[in-house]
Amino acid sequence: MIIVTGATGQLGRQVVECLLTRVPADQVGVSVRDPQKAQAFADQGARVRQGSFTDADSLAHAFEGASQVLIVSVDKFGEEAVRQHRAAIDGAVAAGARRILYTSHMGAGALSRFQPCRDHAATEEALRASGVPFTSLRNGFYAASAMRFLGHATQSGEVVLPADGPVSWTAHADLADAAAAILADEGRIDGPTPPLTAARALTFDDIAGIATDVTGRAITRTTVPDDQFRQQLVGRGVPAEAADQLLGLFAAGRAGEFAAVDPALATLLGREPIALSTVLREQQSGNDQQSDNDGH
C-alpha cells in the first residue's frame, strides 16, 4: 500500500488526487491529523487513518502495511522540523516500507542561506542513514509563494520586496502530478531527484511585468533594504524569527540558490510545466469570480 502523509494539505491532497487516477484506490492510504477532513478520499475507497509525526503509536497504525511512504515535509523550521521528519522516517522503517519518499526542495544543502533548505538537507541525511531506499523530491519553489509575495500588488500597482534573484517558481499541481508518477512507478528515481522546476527562473521584476500583462494594469517593482522590510514585517505582527526566515529566502535567491531550471519535471509530466503567468491568470480569474459573487 502507498501511504501519503499530510493528505489534507495543499500538496498532499493533490498528490492523492493524482495517485487515485494511476493506481486502484485500495492500494492508497493516507495519514492525516484529522481523518474527517479526508472523508472524500475514504469515499473513493482509499484507507484513511489518523497519524501525527509527534505520536509514534499513531504512525505505526497509519503506516501499517506500507510498501511506500511519501513524507510531506512539515511547516516547521529548524530542529523541530527535522525531529518530526525523523519520526516519520522511523515510522516508515518500522512499518517495513520498501521505499520512503520525501518532499524536499531545490537548493537543499547544509550551507543554504534559507533555513528550510538546511532542514531538508538534514532530513535527507536521515533518509540516507535509515537503510531503506529513498527518493527525495527536490521540488521547485512553490508558485503559490510568489503569488503571496505579489500580495495586493494587482490592486495597489506596486510590489515592494527586498532585492531578489531568479527563482524557478513551480505549480503545486505539477509537483503533485510528478510525485504521483514516481509513486506509481516504484523505484523510478533513487535518491535525490534533479530540481523539479518550471521552465523559467524569474525575478520579481519579471513577475511585475507578467502581472502587468495579465491584469492590464501597470505594476511596478520597488526594492527596499532588508532591514526596512524586516521592520515592516515585525510592525505588522510577524514574529521576528519568521521575518528572519523570510529574509533568508531573499538572501538565498540573490545567491542563485533557486535559479536552476531542469527538464526533469517536464519529462515526468510528459508535457511542459505550468507557467507562472498561467498561475497568476487563474488566481486573477478566481479573484474576479469572487468579486462577482460578492456583488462587487
40 in any annotated domain: yes
Distance CA 35, CA 98 (A): 25
Does residue 74 form part of some domain? yes
Q: Does some domain include residue 220?
A: no
pLDDT for 152 equals 82
Whether residue 285 lies inside any domain: the answer is no
Q: Is residue 53 part of a domain?
A: yes
Residue 249 CB-half CA count within 13 A: 19
Expressed as residue numbers, the domain containing 187 is 2-138+172-192
One-character DSSP codes across 230-246: HHHHHHTT--HHHHHHH
Strand duo 158-161 + 99-105: pairing: unpaired
Taking the C-alpha atoms of residue 43 and residue 25, their distance in angstroms, rounded to an integer, is 10
Residue keyed to cell 505594476? 219
Considering only CA atoms, give the Rg of the chain: 20
Residue 264 placed within a domain: no
- Beta partners for 139? 105, 196
Does the residue 246 lie in any domain?
A: no
Q: Which three cell numbers stand for residue 41?
A: 478520499
Cα 213 to Cα 85: distance, rounded to the nearest angstrom: 41
Neighbours of 100 (CB within 10 A): 25
User: Which amino acid is present at 63?
Assistant: F
pLDDT of residue 34: 96
Q: How far apart are CA 143 and CA 145, in angstroms?
A: 5
Q: What is the CATH number of the domain that holds 182?
A: 3.40.50.720
The whole-number pLDDT of residue 288 equals 53
How far is 150 from 208, CA to CA, in rounded Å? Answer: 8
* Grid cell for residue 108: 537543499
Phi, psi of 156 (to 5 degrees): -80, -25
The total of other beta-carbon atoms located within 10 Å of residue 162's CB is 20
Maximum CA pair distance of the chain? 58
Full pLDDT tens readout for the chain, 296 residues: 999 999 999 999 999 999 999 999 999 999 999 999 999 999 999 999 999 999 999 999 999 999 999 999 999 999 999 999 999 999 999 999 999 999 999 999 999 999 999 999 999 999 999 999 999 999 999 999 999 999 888 888 999 999 999 999 999 999 999 999 999 999 999 999 999 999 999 999 999 999 999 999 999 999 999 999 999 999 999 999 999 999 999 999 999 999 999 999 999 999 999 999 999 999 887 655 544 444 43
Judged by DSSP in three states, 120 sits in helix
- Please name the amino acid found at residue 39: Q
Q: What are phi and psi of 200, to 5 degrees?
A: -135, 145
Question: For the chain, how many structural domains are there in total?
Answer: 1
* The predicted structure's pLDDT at residue 293: 43
Contact 77, 59 (CB under 8 A): no
**Alpha carbon distance 235, 232 (integer Å):** 5
Tell me the angle at which helices 115-130 and 240-254 cross, rounded to the nearest 10 degrees: 80
Q: What are phi and psi of 79, to 5 degrees?
A: -60, -35
Residue 288 grid cell: 474576479
